[in-house]
Structure 1
Amino acid sequence: MPSVPLLPRSGRRVFVALGDSFTEGVGDRDERLPNGVRGWADRVAEKLAKADPGWRYANLAIRSKRLRHIIDEQLEPALRMRPSLVTLYAGGNDILDLTTDMAALMADYERLVAQLADTGATLVLFTGFDVKVSALLEPLKRRNTFYNEQVRAIAKEHGAVLVDYWCLDAFHDRRMWDSDRLHMSKAGHKYLAGQVLDQLGVPHKITPKDWEPPTRLTFLEWERRQRRWVHDWVLPLFGRKLRGVTLGDSLTPRWPEPVKVPRKGGLKKLAAETPDAGTAP
């Protein structure tokens, strides 16, 4: 592989992705792959394998997971894999829980980051984006700002690579988001993969969508979309909260053990050849 200073030179090539729906790939639908999604992390793994054959990849992320779940369920498996590259996004779901103690959350986050950094792996962290879902969620902006300030400081303290998602202006376009307005669309995941690869210095040919400027909605179109969004996403979300369930409760990690990523055909080829490749034991 061409010299990539941000990746270890040990010869060990194991990429482990940790987190929640952001990293699982929700919003980027593909029924040929485990859990029916693809996502930015799969794309990063494929570009790593294309640039330097032999990379192995595990994705332990599951939608709806809080930071405590990621620590309890994903940290130890990740450490056992002896990764050379780790990506972590965690805490977004905690921010949405109004009872979350943000100072305590970020203390736990830093302890998790410290354990991952101690492996010697290249560690990639992310700030969160200020998703313009609804004016009702504007009070969360202060919590998002605090989270991002802490992530930036923690990344600097532990020598992590930072993908400052908050500052990626491309995501102000609504077409970068799925219909639930909380998860990236296919275009969003693809764009983010390019940003991660750029930060790591890995060659790729991912290019941003060359879109026409978004059309301005009439009031009736906006109102119709609002009603559909409330019916399809907001009410079911509150219903799950009342029942104490999440969309990730019945799911297992997409790639629970490191799989060798084919240089040609990528993970779709692997899934077609070994249908249980992404099924947890």
Structure 2
Amino acid sequence: MTTPISDATASATRWSRFVAVGDSFTEGLWDVPDADGQCRGWADQLAGHLSERRTAAGADPLAYANLAIRGRLLRPIIAEQLPAALALEPDLVSLIGGGNDVLRPSVDVDRLARDLEAAVVRLRRAGIDVLLGTGMDSAGSPLIRATRGRVAIYNAHIWSIARRHGAYVVDLWGMRSLRDWRMWAPDRIHLTTDGHARVAEAALVALGLAPDDVAWDDPLAPLPPVPRAQQLRDDARWVRDDVYPWATRRLRRLSSGATRVAKRPELAPVE
């Protein structure tokens, strides 16, 4: 007689092969490096959470690959990373991209959404569960908030795509904790280690699983207001050290990840 499997155990062991695709957000900039010197990031942490739950339930560790490369636009992600992901025969794929596209004022957000939906359809037809993610709310950023309207439209498309095709969505826009600058690296575009950890918890919740940390989206204790002079100095440093190099690469049509390869291109057990 077969012993019934509990709902909790079934959820913990539902996925055995997870592949992450995307850009720097999924590659993991600027989380702490792993044993190989690669930044970990929220997707790596999510894989760790899922693997721990599998082994606790008596199953094999999760097999995981991360194909994301910094600087990638959505179309190259779909053209280059998606076929490689499909070849690995996963049962879960995180597909989060388009952030580099919406930084460009000339972006066609509706076309971006059509490309994303076509990729989701391709994955779902292969029987693969898909995890999408909204863009983050940039209301507090002095320059990036100019993209807020484009991100909001793209987010609306993402929720509609998920509803039509049965995908999961990490609601980054709605995360209260990410409105705190302590969650962000000095470049104000990538997350800190704490930010990545909170997104990994949000991903568990998006997948219908209980978070490991129930306080994953609790706001941090407020800091004293930053003096105006200090804020201006910080903004000037940011423009000099981060905005100017990005704009220069943009004018030269260079990508920060042009010569990089995926950090974890093959499925391997998460220990």
TM-score (norm 1): 0.85
The alignment covers a number of residue pairs equal to: 259
User: How far has the Cα of 1:2 moved from its partner?
Assistant: 5.7
- The answer on whether the counterparts of 1:48 and 1:202 sit within 8 Å (CA) in structure 2 is no
Residue of structure 1 equivalent to 2:92: 85
Distance 1:213 1:134 in 2: 18
- Equivalent residue in structure 1 for 2:136, among 124, 129, 136: 129
- The answer on whether the counterparts of 1:173 and 1:214 sit within 8 Å (CA) in structure 2 is no
Q: Decide which moves more: 203-212 or 41-50.
A: 203-212
Residue of structure 1 equivalent to 2:188: 181
- The answer on whether the counterparts of 1:6 and 1:200 sit within 8 Å (CA) in structure 2 is no
Distance 1:31 1:259 in 2: 15
- The answer on whether the counterparts of 2:48 and 2:270 sit within 8 Å (CA) in structure 1 is yes
- Equivalent residue in structure 1 for 2:33, among 30, 35, 39: 30
Is 1:246 the equivalent of 2:255? yes
Q: Decide which moves more: 196-205 or 177-186.
A: 196-205
| Identical aligned residues as a percent | 37
Name the CA shift for 1:76/1:57 in 2 (closer, same or farther; >3 Å): same
Structure 1: stretches of 5+ with no match in the other structure: 263-281
Name the CA shift for 1:7/1:147 in 2 (closer, same or farther; >3 Å): farther
Residue of structure 2 equivalent to 1:41: 43
Matched AA of 2:17: V
RMSD value, Cα = 2.1
Name the CA shift for 1:2/1:217 in 2 (closer, same or farther; >3 Å): farther
Alignment of 1:12-23 (within 5 A): 13-23=16-26
- The answer on whether the counterparts of 1:23 and 1:89 sit within 8 Å (CA) in structure 2 is yes
Residue of structure 2 equivalent to 1:97: 104
Name the CA shift for 1:133/1:237 in 2 (closer, same or farther; >3 Å): farther
Deviation track 1:138-175 (CA, whole Å, cap 9, x = no partner) reads 33222111100000000000001111111111111111
Q: Matched residue of 1:86: which SS?
A: strand
Alignment of 1:67-82 (within 5 A): 67-82=74-89
Distance 2:94 2:109 in 1: 22
- The answer on whether the counterparts of 1:60 and 1:255 sit within 8 Å (CA) in structure 2 is yes
Matched AA of 2:79: D
- Equivalent residue in structure 2 for 1:165, among 169, 172, 181: 172
Distance 2:262 2:87 in 1: 16
Distance 1:2 1:179 in 2: 45
- The answer on whether the counterparts of 2:12 and 2:50 sit within 8 Å (CA) in structure 1 is no
- The answer on whether the counterparts of 1:49 and 1:261 sit within 8 Å (CA) in structure 2 is yes
Matched AA of 1:72: A
Distance 1:133 1:234 in 2: 16
TM-score (norm 2): 0.88
Distance 1:233 1:29 in 2: 20
Structure 2: stretches of 5+ with no match in the other structure: none
Higher normalized contact order (CA 8 Å, seq sep 6+, divided by chain length): 1
Residue of structure 1 equivalent to 2:53: 51
- Equivalent residue in structure 2 for 1:221, among 197, 220, 230: 230
